[in-house]
Amino acid sequence: MTYCLSDSILYNSTEKMKVNPIFNPGGDDRIEARSIWFGNTTNLMQLNDVRYSWAIGLYQQMRENFWIPQKLDLTQDVTDYWNLTPEERHAYDGILSYLTFLDSVQTCNIPHLKSSITAPEISLCMAEQLSQEAMHNQSYQYIIETVIPSDRRSAVYDFWRTDSVLRDRCEFVAGFYQQYIDNPTTETYFIALLADYLLEGLYFYNGFIYFYNLASRMLMPGSADIFKTINRDELSHVRLFQRLIPEAMQVFPHSVDRIYEMFDSAVQHECRWTNHIVGNDILGITETSTEQYTKYLANMRLKAIGLEPLYREPKYQKSPYTHLERFSDTKNQAHTKANFFEASVTSYVMSSGVSGWDEI
């Protein structure tokens, strides 16, 4: 295994990861003393002068994305649910269950990552991310309560108990986070950060595509509206980690080979689960398109953190689902793209547009 060493890596892999004190009167909050990890923050949220100004712009954008699930109309979905094929209904329930797991585990894990962050502007973004992940769980509950018949609702939450592929999937995803909890070193922290990036950047999207695909056939439009809004939130989390991972690569011991291994096993697990729950039984999705899309996403996420694409064939350089763009509303990029790196956004926008299709 190749360890990437540079002068800027300060910590050895077995060093225990430090958790910030609640209040540190001896800390130094000056910009020049600030760093994302291993800084000496007082733990006051001193945001007048920030070192990472991109985080202020990102936070503002995340706040402007504010939305309330119950304001989105699911009336047609209640009827449509019974017009789905049995395979489509099974996939609908299973994907809902899987996404509930993802946002549950995020709600649980983000505080652990955040507790070692020493730049308050980054903590700000993670606090908002945590709030959004929790709210995503509430939106799944809203869908389950509204669309799923009462006698099937518990089964959605308990899907992993009876579906061994989903259970394996959940254990794989949670395992990287648990490693850090069990043994909180600089090495396991970096792995947990990368696992978060994989979750935000790779694991949601075959599920989103399933709902956009139904919407393209005039089915379950309310569900698609909710997922495109969650999609927009998740892309802001992807952007946060696209900033954090390259910074982390400067200070944490890590192995580039290990990063590629994690990406490849993440792709395999994602394809295995999607083929299990969607497979070739849903019009518009095949095991081939799932593989192409997942590898395309992995390539894009690698490039975004400064690494080479893992899957070199031309077919993995483009999305097989560009025809679904209009259902994700991701063509509406201007707002996000224009303001992303600026901290001066003052308008309040309640928009359902999802920006950044190119990055999905």
Just list the catalytic residues: 140
Pick the closer one to Fe ion by CB: 199 or 251: 199
Pick the closer one to Fe ion by CB: 41 or 106: 106
CB 217 within 8 A of CB 279: no
CB 228 within 8 A of CB 327: yes
CB 10 within 8 A of CB 251: yes
- 121 scored as a contact of Fe ion (CB under 5 A): no
The residue count for binding Fe ion (CB under 5 A) is 6
- 128 scored as a contact of Fe ion (CB under 5 A): no
CB of 136 to Fe ion, least distance (A): 4
Among 169, 232, 237, 239, binds Fe ion (CB under 5 A): 237
Pick the closer one to Fe ion by CB: 241 or 357: 241
Using CB under 5 A, which residues numbered 283 to 312 contact Fe ion? none
CA atoms within a 13 Å half-sphere pointing along the CA-CB vector of 304:
23
Pick the closer one to Fe ion by CB: 128 or 133: 133
- 228 scored as a contact of Fe ion (CB under 5 A): no
CB 252 within 8 A of CB 9: yes
Task: Give the interface segment with Fe ion, choosing from 52-60, 89-97, 103-111, 166-174 (CB under 5 A).
Answer: 103-111
CB of 102 to Fe ion, least distance (A): 7
Task: Give the interface segment with Fe ion, choosing from 162-170, 216-224, 229-237, 352-360 (CB under 5 A).
Answer: 229-237
Q: Which helix (H) or strand (E) holds 69?
A: none
Pick the closer one to Fe ion by CB: 210 or 311: 210
Alpha helices in the chain (DSSP H): 53-64, 75-80, 86-114, 120-147, 150-157, 159-162, 164-182, 186-198, 205-216, 221-251, 256-277, 287-304, 325-328, 334-339
CB of 200 to Fe ion, least distance (A): 5
CB of 137 to Fe ion, least distance (A): 8
Q: First CA to last CA across the chain, in angstroms?
A: 30
Among 93, 121, 128, 133, binds Fe ion (CB under 5 A): 133
Helix axes 86-114, 186-198, angle to 10 degrees: 150
Place of tokens 């894990």: 109
Q: Which residues are at the interface with Fe ion (CB under 5 A)?
A: 103, 133, 136, 200, 234, 237
